[in-house]
Structure 1
Amino acid sequence: MSDTISLVVAGGGTAGHISPMLAIADAVKDEIPGAEITAIGSPGGLETKLVPEAGYRLELIPKAPMPRSINLDLFKFPLRFIKAVNGAKRVLKESNAQALLGVGGYVCTPAYIAAKKLGVPIFVHEANSKAGMANKVGAKTAVAVGTTFANTGLPGEEQVGMPMRSNVAQMDRAALREEARAFFGVSDQNPLLLVTGGSSGAQSINTAVAQSLGLLADAGVNVVHITGRGKQIMDASGQLLAHERYHQVEYVDRMEYAYAAADLMICRSGAGTVCELEVAGTPSVLVPLPIGNGEQKLNARELVAAGGAVLVDDKAFTKDYIAGHVAPLLADQHKLEEMSRAAAALGRRDAAQNMARKIIAEISSRSTSGQEG
């Protein structure tokens, strides 16, 4: 095997696509430090920030989402899509790509089509329990299809788990607990409830928690509240909301500290979050996003069935729910420990490495066949 390979990765739009893509890229670099990795993205996506920060080259192609209704965009779509496919071809050719990894998002469909036309082997990873349209296209001709959850409906799928960066994948929750609590300014050993709606926050969760601070403080519960960027909670005077045992932050880029500090976490059930809860062994109350195609409820299915999490509808997550269910759960250490063990039993830590090995093995096999020929 050569000491370098050329891999192009494609995915974008949200952290739910980009994070597993970068985790697999990192795993390839761990195996082959000289690997040349180029990412394909679209203008305006979160990849324009996260990919360069991770140290990888980013090439942008035109965004060409399929219009959902009959309008002017529908007639413009064919030309936009052709331009996107040609842009992806250019990146693959200029990179001398030996494989393409796609993880979903608008950018992937033209990338998959370009790779097929050029004879570049395709690898797919699907993060959600319900496969997106782009990955349905890519999976048809893929060498390997890895999924986070079972039964996504993709041809040739293999459940490998969620690729995640090593700071979470390799974390030891118990060993990190004290350092994590100190990171959030919590110095005692009282129960700690960590609340997050993700990087963009969740207004309904934020409101219910803000209304419950008095009863949680009376129960001796510390609350660390990650509100989301631009969703800070203010009091009536326009000042940042302050309360006994309450710690409010907009965003945290060290999520391993969040999972380690929490005795219980309240959060959405995005695929990445669910899998990180499992790896960490952190008990949770999951409040699926009430919009979209229902995949967040599906994502939570296995963890809830195993007893590692409790599921509650967004509209039912209120101050009364917190008083009647969350506060009593935080007081039940035995139940929290049972939930932690149930969650940890589902955790898969090697998904990124598994996908990286598949990619490297295919490139190696093709290189060897070419040399022999």
Structure 2
Amino acid sequence: MSGPVNGPVSVVLAGGGTGGHIEPMLALADALRRRGAEGGVRITCLGTARGLETRLVPARGYDLRLIPPVPLPRKPTLDLLRVPGRVRRSVAETRSLLRELDADVVVGFGGYVALPAYLAARRERVPIVVHEQNALPGLANRIGARLAARVAVTTPGTPLHGGAHVGMPLRTTISTLDRGSRRAEARAVFGLDADRPTLLVFGGSQGAASLNRAAVGAAEALTAAGVQVLHARGPKNTDVEVPPRSAGQAPYVLVDYLERMDLAYAAADLALCRAGAVTVAELSAVGLPAAFVPLPIGNGEQRRNALPVVEAGGGLLVEDADLSPSWIQQQIVPLVTDPAALAGYAARAAATGAPDADERLADIVLEVAGR
């Protein structure tokens, strides 16, 4: 199946469910849209009615088509018996969509939207490109990689069939960020002092209780050392507070959520954060060193995400159980108050980044589509 030789390239993107799938999908969509500014690329996103894509995709100006989800149980349960029927239904509906859209290529980012898209594309003989965000691939992408024309991975050494290191597609507000030139503006936006060493604390969009406890517990030690803090506690964690700072003390700014991550990164000298794939990729791309605290549940993928940066000397790694106010006082305070050490960490973090991953993946997609 393919569109007219001189018509627009029809690209179908499958990456619904979580922000970790949707954000790189939309970054690729933006790169493709820049390539096809005069109508050369038609972009359609696949999703389900229950994912974040129902809000995020239309907000970025892209067409969203819904298919039935195929959640895959992590453990053998009775629900596993229902999977084949769900797969058949979803694949059938997705095949109809691919024919309607005259798809030239399907690009999948994993998760329960990608699996039926891969199987439908195989049936319709539409070429497949797979992008894996995490250092440890999920089931959908392990299957998709076996069917794909090209496979791109974020982290070198990701165990995925045919995987080539491309990096994580990122928003241009992040990938083109010059932290140094935006620092004064960013600190002013958040009510921070212009010249103090600055720690950024965040635990993802919902916050993280262990990061909140440790950072607040270390507030006095940090600010007494002249370190100011920008701390996103999470919108549901309004009970997280620090005592008011007196005049002349370093600020400790608590916010529920950071709408402008680019300005937060520009304001900071060091981050204390989780190690989700998008977070690690963004910090590397902008050259912001971090102390990574991997999520202590799941399959250990967050630790694997952070390891290449940490092993390159661009960050620290601390297990969630070991994070405490005293760890922050002993490890963070000496680093964030040492400009020379910070500069070395920042340079090594940047060396692991791939700010052009969106353009590199767009090249692959258009090549596979035959354009």
TM-score band by shorter chain is: over 0.9
TM-score (norm 1): 0.93
SS of aligned partner of 2:129: strand
Deviation at 1:3, TM superposition (A): 5.9
Which one-letter code corresponds to 1:154 in the other structure? Answer: L
- Decide which moves more: 355-364 or 193-202: 355-364
- Decide which moves more: 132-141 or 71-80: 71-80
- Decide which moves more: 314-323 or 56-65: 56-65
Decide whether the 8 Å contact of 1:232 with 1:249 is kept in 2. Answer: no
Which one-letter code corresponds to 1:14 in the other structure? Answer: T
- Deviation string 1:252-297 (CA, Å, 9 cap, x unpaired) is 2221111111011100111111111111111211101111100111
- Decide which moves more: 316-325 or 184-193: 184-193
TM-score (norm 2): 0.93
1:243 aligns with 2:247: no
Aligned-residue CA RMSD (Å): 1.5
Deviation at 1:70, TM superposition (A): 4.7
The aligned counterpart of 2:26 is 22
The CA distance in 2 between the partners of 1:243 and 1:90, in whole Å, is: 59
What are the equivalent positions in structure 2 for 1:10-89 lying under 5 Å apart? 10-33=14-37, 34=39, 35-89=41-95
The CA distance in 2 between the partners of 1:104 and 1:76, in whole Å, is: 20
Which one-letter code corresponds to 1:87 in the other structure? Answer: E
Which one-letter code corresponds to 2:349 in the other structure? Answer: A
- Decide which moves more: 346-355 or 99-108: 346-355
5+ residue gaps, structure 2? 246-250
SS of aligned partner of 2:271: strand
The CA distance in 1 between the partners of 2:74 and 2:297, in whole Å, is: 17
Q: Identity over aligned residues, as a percent?
A: 44
The CA distance in 2 between the partners of 1:70 and 1:298, in whole Å, is: 26
The aligned counterpart of 1:111 is 117
Decide whether the 8 Å contact of 2:212 with 2:240 is kept in 1. Answer: no
Alpha-carbon spacing, 1:68–1:294, altered in 2? closer, same or farther (3 Å)? closer
1:132 aligns with 2:123: no
The CA distance in 1 between the partners of 2:143 and 2:345, in whole Å, is: 38
Decide whether the 8 Å contact of 1:213 with 1:243 is kept in 2. Answer: no
1:282 aligns with 2:283: no
SS of aligned partner of 1:364: coil
Deviation at 1:170, TM superposition (A): 0.9
SS of aligned partner of 2:231: strand
The aligned counterpart of 1:370 is none
Task: Say which of 124, 143, 154 aligns to 1:148.
Answer: 154
5+ residue gaps, structure 1? 236-240, 366-373
Task: Say which of 291, 297, 303 aligns to 2:309.
Answer: 303
1:183 aligns with 2:189: yes
Number of residue pairs aligned between Structure 1 and Structure 2: 360
Deviation at 1:32, TM superposition (A): 1.1
1:350 aligns with 2:351: no
SS of aligned partner of 2:147: coil
1:323 aligns with 2:329: yes
SS of aligned partner of 2:294: coil
- Deviation string 1:62-99 (CA, Å, 9 cap, x unpaired) is 12212344544233222222111122112212211111
- Decide which moves more: 63-72 or 245-254: 63-72
Which one-letter code corresponds to 1:302 in the other structure? Answer: P
SS of aligned partner of 2:142: helix
What are the equivalent positions in structure 2 for 1:261-276 lying under 5 Å apart? 261-276=267-282
The aligned counterpart of 1:9 is 13
The CA distance in 2 between the partners of 1:147 and 1:7, in whole Å, is: 19
Deviation at 1:242, TM superposition (A): 4.9
Which one-letter code corresponds to 1:231 in the other structure? Answer: N
1:171 aligns with 2:180: no
Alpha-carbon spacing, 1:354–1:130, altered in 2? closer, same or farther (3 Å)? same
Decide whether the 8 Å contact of 2:28 with 2:169 is kept in 1. Answer: yes
- Deviation string 1:306-347 (CA, Å, 9 cap, x unpaired) is 111010000111011011111111221111111011111122
Deviation at 1:36, TM superposition (A): 1.5
SS of aligned partner of 2:346: helix
